[in-house]
Structure 1
Amino acid sequence: MKKLGFLVIVASIVSSLLFGLTIQAATFKDIPNNFWAKSEIDYLFGKNIISGYPNGNFGPNDNVKRIDAAAMVVKALNLNTTNRPNPQFKDISRSTVGFDVIATVVDEGIFTGTDGSFYPNKTLTRAEMAAIINRAFKLEKKSTKVTFKDVNSKFWGYLDIQNLVGHKITEGFPNNTFQPSNPTTRAQFSVFLTRALKGKEGNTGTPDKDSFEVIGIY
């Protein structure tokens, strides 16, 4: 009887924790149940990869900064940030907030700088996002016949973008563009990162065609 009672208590605690997590993952005030990226946002939130703002919002349409993307990648891959070499960028120092994260993604070859600077607060473009996802997850090269009107074969991120298409992580916009220079939003990055993570875990799938056609965020 004592053993049974103990098991009941444990089961109740586990149930409460799981229920609490489910409720907590759905409490962003600006993410309704029918939001196109809700499942991906909840997935990353459940893994402690992303979080919301103190006001209870997620800010799905806010642009992602390079430092924010770096932090999410570090958490997603569970990278060790200790004792990483100083990347020697002109615009950061060891006292810079997020220095350990920047040093880690640079040491791993996931991020690079430009003209000796990292630009941590600069908005991450969609082309940069494609390159980062490819490097972070070491995606196998896959050929695809899909081409975008605004990404020619000489564009620096052409192969990275094409590879995301090959892995079914992106399909571009309905007008056959990828918009590589446009900023990456928090919702978009959540979707791309989730698909890459699930692909790594062996849980692949095709993008939601309905969401793709209506919203055109891929």
Structure 2
Amino acid sequence: MQVSPGSVRLPGFLFYSENSIEAVMVLKKLTAIITAIIMLAAQGPAYALGEDTAYRLSSEGAGVWGIIASYSADMGMPANALPQSLATNSTYEQAEFLMASKALGRDVSAIAGIIKRSQMKNGKLADFTDGTGEKSVRAHIWGIIALYSAWDNGYDKSSALRWLKTKQNSDGGFGYEAGKPSDIKTTSEAVLAFKALGIESEEAAARALSYIEAKLPAEKNGEKLAWAFFAKHSMGKDDQKLYERLRSYELPDGSYSLSSSNKTYNYAATCAALLALKEYENGYSVFKKLHNADMFKDLRRTDYAYLEVMELVNRGIASGYPDSTFRPSLKVTRAEFAKFLVYALGYENSPARESITFKDLEDHWAEKTVYTAVGKKLINGIGKGRFAPDQNVTGAQIVAMLVRAKGLEGIAARFEGENWYDGYVSAAIRRGLIYEGFDPETSATRAQCAKALSKLY
């Protein structure tokens, strides 16, 4: 489509149409359908639940793990899927309840306080919330993970870690109770607790992973395989064979069976598989997602681009400010967006291009990152040997970079228009790369940049 001088800007979104807005809307619908088909084809074996199974997990009365698993997949959940409080003195059950409550967007500080107050002098998060009971290793493990999910560090983490290490059996595994034989599920859960405590590189975590490796060949339980895969992948241990084994338990509707021989829906196996496979696809766990969910005081779950912002934060691409704000309305510079893009594409460790130099980049904080983006042919200067790193990035510049990142410059080159960016915008429209609020000549905000970068996934 060629952009005509008489094109119409649709307020707050696109700016194209030569004759009628209706024609543009039809084109947009067709583009969305084509883009969806292309995305599905590109994703290959990505995990997706059927409607019936998704409803089972996220509907009222589905249970805490159904809520947590649904949250990991960004599936909507009714507010009444969980009671407002839980009448139990089980620390493990309160830990589950905390994570499910936070998944629903509730304030979990009171529940976190109940769990913290259960900690005993020896570091154990007690079996019961009155501070009694030292048998349950699982209660301790999930207390740690729940408090991490709540972003609550107000307990003695060092002594909690020491107690957990003392319960590691000689084979490197953990039993669900102190003194019990090791089992693969509890050991996998312990690995996730180590991850939450930030000690994934220590010997105790390595020994636990070795135990899991040793037991995996004989394991035939779908739920346990899912937890093992979750634990390994969260520690950066990719295992394609284990992934394929786990997927062999998948049923046609996306749910999972407990047994490879009895192919029937199993709630626990389905929840565990969804948690594991979403960690695999996203690159971060549901517990990290819960941990970061309310980290910014100026960004609520109902705000524009919340999900996209948190995706960048969870992936380590973007971060907030020391005052616990994200500042979603703040304008973004060309250097800042170049950094976002380089990290979003995983190029942060790629060599920088040295054959092109910009005189206004010397000793600039983003010098290496910008040259990496230039080397990947994602971004150009503005002429006369300048890059203008501190100039605000515009919608047109962002779309041009997205088109280049997707390898669509050939499509962009087919279109002509009055402006340098018309071909890029045309290609972006056809491939679903236009973000909400796009304006080619207006500076983009941090929230809009998050929306734009989400088009890459």
Superposed pair shares fold, TM > 0.5? yes
Query: Over residues 81-115 of structure 1, what are the superposed CA-to-partner deviations in whole Å (9 max), with x where a residue is unaligned?
Result: 4353153111122x321211011111111111122
Counterpart among 333, 336, 341 of residue 65 in structure 1: 333
Alignment: residue pair count: 183
Q: What is the deviation of 1:188?
A: 0.6
Query: Over residues 8-33 of structure 1, what are the superposed CA-to-partner deviations in whole Å (9 max), with x where a residue is unaligned?
Result: 15315526744244221431111101
The one-letter amino acid paired with 1:104 is T
Closer/same/farther in 2, CA of residues 118 and 142 from structure 1, 3 Å limit: closer
Find the residue that maps to 1:32 and give its secondary structure: coil
Pair member with larger Rg: 2
- Distance between the aligned counterparts of 2:322 and 2:404, measured in 1? 32
Contact kept in structure 2, 1:64 and 1:123, CA below 8 Å: yes
- Distance between the aligned counterparts of 2:333 and 2:352, measured in 1? 24
- Distance between the aligned counterparts of 1:140 and 1:87, measured in 2? 21
Find the residue that maps to 1:182 and give its secondary structure: coil
5 Å-filtered alignment, 1:75-114, equals: 75-79=343-347, 80-82=349-351, 84-85=353-354, 87-93=356-362, 95-114=363-382
The one-letter amino acid paired with 1:14 is L
- Distance between the aligned counterparts of 2:409 and 2:391, measured in 1? 29
User: Does residue 161 of structure 1 match 2:161?
Assistant: no
2:446 aligned partner: 186
- Distance between the aligned counterparts of 1:69 and 1:122, measured in 2? 11
1:121 aligned partner: 390
5 Å-filtered alignment, 1:191-206, equals: 191-195=451-455, 197-198=456-457
Find the residue that maps to 1:42 and give its secondary structure: helix
- Distance between the aligned counterparts of 2:451 and 2:392, measured in 1? 17
Closer/same/farther in 2, CA of residues 8 and 68 from structure 1, 3 Å limit: same
1:8 aligned partner: 186
Find the residue that maps to 2:450 and give its secondary structure: helix
- Distance between the aligned counterparts of 1:139 and 1:83, measured in 2? 22
Closer/same/farther in 2, CA of residues 27 and 83 from structure 1, 3 Å limit: closer
- Which stretch of the first structure deviates more once superposed, 55-64 or 75-84? 75-84
- Distance between the aligned counterparts of 1:83 and 1:40, measured in 2? 28
Q: What is the deviation of 1:34?
A: 0.5
- Distance between the aligned counterparts of 2:389 and 2:304, measured in 1? 28
1:39 aligned partner: 307
- Distance between the aligned counterparts of 2:403 and 2:325, measured in 1? 29
RMSD between aligned residues: 2.4
TM-score, structure 1 normalization: 0.75
Contact kept in structure 2, 1:131 and 1:157, CA below 8 Å: yes
2:434 aligned partner: 170
Higher relative contact order (CA 8 A, sep 6+): 1
- Distance between the aligned counterparts of 1:65 and 1:171, measured in 2? 18
Larger helix share, 1 or 2: 2
Closer/same/farther in 2, CA of residues 25 and 172 from structure 1, 3 Å limit: closer
Closer/same/farther in 2, CA of residues 127 and 138 from structure 1, 3 Å limit: same
- Distance between the aligned counterparts of 1:156 and 1:82, measured in 2? 29
Identity of aligned residues (%): 26
Q: What is the deviation of 1:62?
A: 0.6
Closer/same/farther in 2, CA of residues 154 and 38 from structure 1, 3 Å limit: same
Q: What is the deviation of 1:46?
A: 1.3
Closer/same/farther in 2, CA of residues 26 and 87 from structure 1, 3 Å limit: farther
